[in-house]
Structure 1
């Protein structure tokens, strides 16, 4: 999530829709009082500084013990290096906003943002990106198992989402993007950009906002491949798995006319 007072917009970060890449790109033109919660690690890696607000609010955790607060200040001073400074700021700002926006402040729900920032929610332009759920689940599977030596199969991953099984943290806590841009099942944003036409539609929104965007979208999160260049773990839909995903994300699929893959495995 990004809340920009400079350009009067709220970017709602839906999962696996290039949200981190968009956040890094937008971070280049944020004002000092703008709040960025998405893509902070990738923003630092791109050599872009956090906003003054992020750094200031990272220290506003009054429930921390005195020794811990001294340690926070030591990290944020930069005396231990820029990497540790950025990492500590990211952790602290996320912890601070968990109490305000829920367990995943970078993927905050529309209702939580509306409650936390009612004036900005009413007056600023709000936009997000959506993606075909079947493609999103495959992307999520590759990302969530990228560092796992013995990853679950794609079938296990899909069925774990259905069953509410986190698989030790591999399955995301909130896999459905629908609550991130709707309130009471109604669209709560001004612009819903399709992942499939993201460059054109995002450029149109940002142009209306007066943001001079050059179209740069870094590959913020890279997938691992094997020696042949293929994805590390196979993800193939059977009819059963495609049907499970269709049921899990039915509201989003129907709202945007998304359909299941044309080719399904016969296994």
Structure 2
């Protein structure tokens, strides 16, 4: 989605992320004041100072959400490819998927960060005009296309070669994700 949108970015637009155009413009972030880190997973609270809660309230804000069971497998594999110093990176490097999922620290972090966490402003208000389920973008994107006035071509990029997520889980492990991601599962109609 970010790569598709960046093709329409204007010369003075600020891009936060790791797409090719955002990387080229990264120096534009230098000196900007924000409450949190300006990176591809920044929350609306993080960008406070760059944009005010009132400006965000007036904007069409949207984000992609993903099946939590699939997302957990993807997160684990992504962490295993990283080399920066972080507790989650160290944990993923030290155990198999089941051990990573069953670790209390994994569960605590995930339970504390449902989709609304990313779309809540510094004043504590959830401000998401549209949540797009990654698995159902074509079905969910109508309001976005209407707002933009055009449709985006969304080629599949950054795909992994790993197998289906269901094969990673025992019944007990699937139940862990059902518990720690219950809010998103209920809200977005996900099933294992």
1:185 CA drift (Å): 8.0
1:243–1:199 distance in 2 versus 1, CA, 3 Å? same
Alignment of 1:214-225 (within 5 A): 214-219=152-157, 221-224=158-161
Q: Aligned pair count?
A: 179
1:192–1:55 distance in 2 versus 1, CA, 3 Å? closer
Stretches of structure 1 lacking an aligned partner (at least 5 in a row): 1-21, 62-95, 166-170, 262-267
Q: Distance in 1 between matches of 2:159 and 2:5?
A: 19
1:37 CA drift (Å): 0.9
Partner of 1:205: 143
1:27 CA drift (Å): 0.6
Q: Distance in 1 between matches of 2:95 and 2:179?
A: 21
Match of 1:193, SS?
Answer: strand
Q: What is the root-mean-square deviation of aligned Cα atoms in Å?
A: 3.6
Query: What TM-score, normalized to structure 1?
Result: 0.54
Q: What is the CA deviation profile of residues 93-119 of structure 1, one whole-angstrom value per residue up to 9, with x for unaligned ones?
A: xxx6xx614246321222333554124
Alignment of 1:7-26 (within 5 A): 22-26=1-5
1:192 CA drift (Å): 1.1
Partner of 1:92: none
1:206–1:159 distance in 2 versus 1, CA, 3 Å? same
Query: What TM-score, normalized to structure 2?
Result: 0.72
Pair 1:163-2:134 in alignment: no
* Structure label with greater radius of gyration: 1
Q: Which has the higher strand share?
A: 1
8 Å CA contact 1:181–1:187 kept in 2: the answer is yes
Q: Distance in 2 between matches of 1:29 and 1:151?
A: 42
Partner of 1:245: 177
1:101–1:212 distance in 2 versus 1, CA, 3 Å? farther
8 Å CA contact 2:66–2:133 kept in 1: the answer is yes
Match of 2:40, SS?
Answer: helix
> Among 127, 130, 133, which residue is 1:191 paired with?
130
Q: Distance in 2 between matches of 1:238 and 1:153?
A: 13
Match of 1:110, SS?
Answer: coil
Partner of 2:90: none
Match of 1:106, SS?
Answer: coil
1:191–1:176 distance in 2 versus 1, CA, 3 Å? closer
Partner of 1:34: 13
1:132–1:56 distance in 2 versus 1, CA, 3 Å? closer
Alignment of 1:1-267 (within 5 A): 22-38=1-17, 40=18, 43-44=19-20, 49-50=21-22, 54=25, 57-58=28-29, 60-61=30-31, 100-103=34-37, 105-113=39-47, 116-118=50-52, 119-146=54-81, 152-160=95-103, 162-164=104-106, 176-182=114-120, 187-202=126-141, 204-219=142-157, 221-224=158-161, 236-259=168-191, 261=192
